[in-house]
A = this chain, B = another copy of it.
Amino acid sequence: MFRKKVNVVDCTIRDGGLMNDSNFDLETVRTVVAATCAAGIDYCEIGYRNSKDQFDPKQFGKWRFCDEEDLVAATEGIDLGTTKMGVMMDAHKSDKNDLLPASESVIDMVRVATYCKDVHKAIDIAQHADELGYETAVNIMAISHAYMNELEQVLELLDKETNCKVVNIVDSFGALYQDQLHFIISKFQMHLETKAVGCHFHNNQQLAFANTIEAILKGCTWADSTIYGFGRAAGNCCTELLLGFLKDPNHDILPILDVLGSHIVPLKKSIEWGYHIPYMVTGILNQHPTAAMNFMGLPEDEKYDYRKFYTMADE
């Protein structure tokens, strides 16, 4: 049974790029873009448009910068159908002058990712993108670390000082349980009179998909996902699960199943994202996953000492 329209933003290459420094070959990116378009997914976020002053192009791949010529290469000849293309700009790691006018770009939507403290930078970039003709959105990261009074002010600023379509709750640490999420959603809905509310969850506690459902049942109309949950550390809400839940007649799960089998599931042999105990521990403790990612990289005879990791992390 179809429930109601939810705009799905697939960010497989963008969030997955946090696990391989955005070093995807062009064929993989084109296959993901083609699959999301064939699946009728509403938005495909191809990568970051972050600054080359902040990230070394010798280390990071093209999809950390999304130069226009690379976006053309990623999309030309593909029937995009109704799917819109997007990039993400980190408020504190990008330069608004890297944006062309929307009429000259493959990109339809610019999303600005920000911590509460950087909201003025985010507003500056989002409004510049709006003036250039893009749809815009703002993602508020690390929501489980936000001071509630500060968050209320941030939401009111975004509501009044931007033309963005949607503000997204981002549970960067995979820390939120359903009842905590309900409280945050109500804050967003109360203070965002003119914007939609969206969501982006991490799967440290196997709650990314469940919390996406919770958000939808509570009225959120935008949801982020990645194929097989490919994303930083424990990863994200799985696109295939979200399509299965939504049962939107304009979506088709079969092209996603194709790219799962051909490209994404095989990546698991070389990249360790998903549910792992160190990521679970940082989720439970509401911490950034960096320490867990480092622990996952230890030699075989050390990396399974989960008691040691928990005890260190819980100081």
Contacts and interface: CB of A to CB of B under 8 A. Distances in A.
Contact of A257 (B207, B240, B241, B277): B277
A306 to B, nearest CB: 4
Interface string A229-270: 000000000101100110000000110011011100110000
A206 interface: yes
Interface in A100-133: none
B177 A254 contact: no
SS class of chain A's interface: helix, strand, loop or mixed?
A: helix
Nearest to A283: B244
Contact of A206 (B179, B206, B257, B266): B206
Copy total for this chain: 2
Interface stretch (A68-76, A82-90, A210-218): A210-218
Interface in A46-64: none
Contacts of A213: 177-178
A244 B307 contact: no
A210 B206 contact: yes
B238 A206 contact: yes
A278 to B, nearest CB: 10
Contacts of A27: none
Contacts of A211: 210
A241 B205 CA distance: 7
A230 to B, nearest CB: 13
Contacts of A257: 277, 306-307, 310
Nearest to A262: B304
Contact of A205 (B179, B209, B228, B274): B209
A209 B204 CA distance: 12
A70 B123 CA distance: 67
Interface in A187-203: 203
Interface residues of A, number: 41
A206 B208 contact: yes
B304 A244 contact: no
B254 A307 contact: yes
Given A205-B209, A206-B206, A305-B261, A178 B217 contact: yes
A179 B310 contact: no
A280 interface: yes
A284 B209 contact: no
Interface of A: 177-179, 203, 205-211, 213-214, 217, 228, 238, 240-241, 244-245, 253-254, 257-258, 260-262, 265-266, 274-275, 277, 280, 283-284, 304-307, 310-311
Which 3 residue pairs across A and B have the least CB separation, nearest first? A210-B210, A261-B304, A257-B306
Given A178-B213, A244-B284, A260-B277, 10 more contacts: A178-B210, A179-B217, A203-B206, A205-B209, A205-B244, A206-B209, A206-B238, A240-B277, A262-B304, A274-B275
17 contacts: A178-B217, A203-B206, A205-B244, A206-B206, A206-B238, A207-B209, A210-B210, A228-B277, A240-B277, A244-B284, A257-B277, A257-B306, A257-B307, A258-B306, A261-B305, A265-B277, A275-B275
